[in-house]
Amino acid sequence: MRLRNALYLCLGALIWGTAFVAQSEGNHYMGPVTFQAARSVLAVLFLLPLVLVRKRARDRRRADGDRNVPVYSRGKLLLGGLCTGAFLTAASTLQQIGLVGTDVGKSGFLTDLYIVLVPVLAFFLTGKSSLRIWISVLIAALGLYFLCFGGTVEIGRYDLILILCAFFFACQITCVDYFCRFCDGVELSLMQFVTTTAISVILSFVFEKPEIGGILEGWFPLFYAGILSSGVAYTLQIVGQKGQDPTVASLIMSLESVISVISGWLILHQALSVQEGLGCALMFLATIFAQIPIGRKKAAAVR
């Protein structure tokens, strides 16, 4: 089961990594908040029929006397959808804004900072951590220095936005880890995007002026980000995280950063400088080091 869940997370990372290109292109047709709202609407339209079909199948099995049909908590589903949706709205919107002034590859690695933040959040929530985690934080901080400081002494505005985006992604991953135990994965994903849609639509009219023409012109990147990145990949995340350690899950999902660099180079012909490449390498090293089990934990992992 864990292998299957890991494959779900790998597929989600593949979709997210290439979605950075679609998101970057989407900014050419509409504002970042409008793009986020529109992709969330598509995700809801994609997930709603799936939820109805799955619910009908469960009801039929239950009516036939199948005692193995799982029973989920509606209260947890509602609360989980609100929490994960709120964090995802903040993270995705900030990511979309960050892509306005940052290359695809660099955006992927800055977003990837959530890999280190997830175990840090776990420390504050559970009080458990290790020296290895804090060493990883220091390595990641050094990597961010090389990645963000392009000959200046100030961090770029869009770099800071993407770092903040990584924090909210870490919060979303932590929430998914808790609520996926009590909810159907597809239903939780739907409720997450219902929340995201409600918040994003309101914000798009407050901060931008959504235009149907721009949305229609940018249909292809919007379709990719809405159906595949949102509807499919985030559902794969929720289903794949069930039964997985959140830090291990976040490591698998970190493959999106590598894929974003490759897709940005192949499709948009974007390249990182040597200094930025070194920063990316250090950040990736930090994310791997943060997850490697050592000592007794390694022995337990082998079992």
pLDDT in tens, 112-167: 778 778 877 877 776 666 777 678 777 877 876 776 665 554 567 888 898 899 99
The pLDDT assigned to 155 comes to 66
276 pLDDT higher than 60: yes
The pLDDT assigned to 294 comes to 56
The pLDDT assigned to 287 comes to 65
Q: 30-39, 133-142, 196-205, 236-245: lowest mean pLDDT where?
A: 133-142
Mean pLDDT of 243-255: 71
The pLDDT assigned to 292 comes to 66
302 pLDDT higher than 60: no
The pLDDT assigned to 300 comes to 40
CA distances from 146 to 166, 217, 299 (A): 18, 37, 35
Confidence of residue 281 (pLDDT cuts 50, 70, 90): confident
The pLDDT assigned to 148 comes to 62
Give the CA angle between residues 133, 105, 262 to the nearest 5°: 105
Upper half-sphere CA count for residue 80 (Cβ side, 13 Å): 26
60 CB-near residues (< 8 Å, 6+ apart): none
Taking Cα atoms as reference points, which of 136, 102, 32, 122 lies closest to residue 257?
102
In terms of DSSP H, where are the helices of 31-128? Answer: 32-63, 74-98, 104-111, 114-126
Taking Cα atoms as reference points, which of 228, 212, 282, 238 lies closest to residue 88?
238
Let me know if 125 is exposed, middle or buried by CB neighbors in 10 A (0-12, 13-18, 19+).
exposed
Mean pLDDT of 262-289: 74
Q: H helices then E strands: how many in the chain?
A: 15, 0
pTM over 0.85: no
The pLDDT assigned to 46 comes to 95
Q: Given the structure tokens 């929340």, which residue do they identify? A: 195
180 pLDDT higher than 70: yes
Mean pLDDT of 284-291: 71
